[in-house]
Structure 1
């Protein structure tokens, strides 16, 4: 199958979907950062590997369903709405993980790597399921 040639219209569509995806990712990542009791960016700047691992998992867990939302959308608004829904699911998953392990934020702050790995694992695994649920 031959690829379609790049046109000005297709490039503008690319930029629109890219901007929407990155925009939703940034807003969702900031929302997660706001609801966590610990301060991810300060901890990461200080070299906290647990915080870096947990936040990397958050980003991946958010990006996976955003990929599916963009891939299966019929237009830009559809991608935006499904992306927002996917990100809401990820935030809920984080809140449920925190309810199951109330000390997870303390572990991340204290650089207990197991806490960061668990948080990342929850985000990525829910992100995969979330993405798979977005079928055309």
Structure 2
């Protein structure tokens, strides 16, 4: 049998044919986890992000955008380091839960955060996003398999 010579077009096509389906599966799985986390976050908040953002509320937009990024950071770390889709799913769910718990804890510690965001007080939004991003970075570092 003639094996393709590494670096040739045939070898590249062969690698693409075997690797692309796995890449697409993992990428779509990660996007689904990101969408799920974002939807759950929006269900947990005491305010309606869509209504506030469509009304020009910068604080709501900042918090929702920061939440999406904070959810994506550990998921991206897992995607880069986890070759098995089932591991990505399980640990991705753990990462999403940790980020949602972070939001709940920060909201309780910051007290009237919902009212601050509804009133478009940007200071509360900045602090919440900073907390979420800090925990996301730690979460991502902890998720790297040994």
Same fold (TM over 0.5): yes
Matched, 1:59 2:68: yes
Root mean square deviation of aligned Cα? 1.4
1:24-48 superposed Cα distances (whole Å, 9 cap, x missing partner) = 0000110011010011111111111
The 4+ residue runs of structure 1 with deviation greater than 4 A are: none
Name stretches of at least 5 consecutive residues in structure 2 with no aligned partner.
1-6
Could you tell me how far apart the structure 2 residues matched to 1:10 and 1:46 are? 45
1:49-81 superposed Cα distances (whole Å, 9 cap, x missing partner) = 101111111011000000111222130010011
TM-score (structure 1 length as normaliser): 0.93
User: Which SS does the other structure have where 1:116 is aligned?
Assistant: helix
Q: After superposition, where does 1:73-92 map in structure 2 within 5 Å?
A: 73-92=82-101
Given candidates 94, 97, 100, the residue that maps to 2:103 is: 94
Instruction: Name the count of aligned residue pairs.
Output: 134
TM-score (structure 2 length as normaliser): 0.87
Larger radius of gyration: 2
User: Which SS does the other structure have where 1:7 is aligned?
Assistant: helix
**Aligned residue number for residue 3 of structure 2:** none
Q: After superposition, where does 1:1-136 map in structure 2 within 5 Å?
A: 5=12, 7-136=16-145
Name stretches of at least 5 consecutive residues in structure 1 with no aligned partner.
none
1:58-109 superposed Cα distances (whole Å, 9 cap, x missing partner) = 0110000001112221300100111100000001100100110120111111
Could you tell me how far apart the structure 2 residues matched to 1:47 and 1:12 are? 41
Please, which moves more after superposition, 112-121 or 24-33?
A: 112-121
Could you tell me how far apart the structure 2 residues matched to 1:116 and 1:55 are? 9
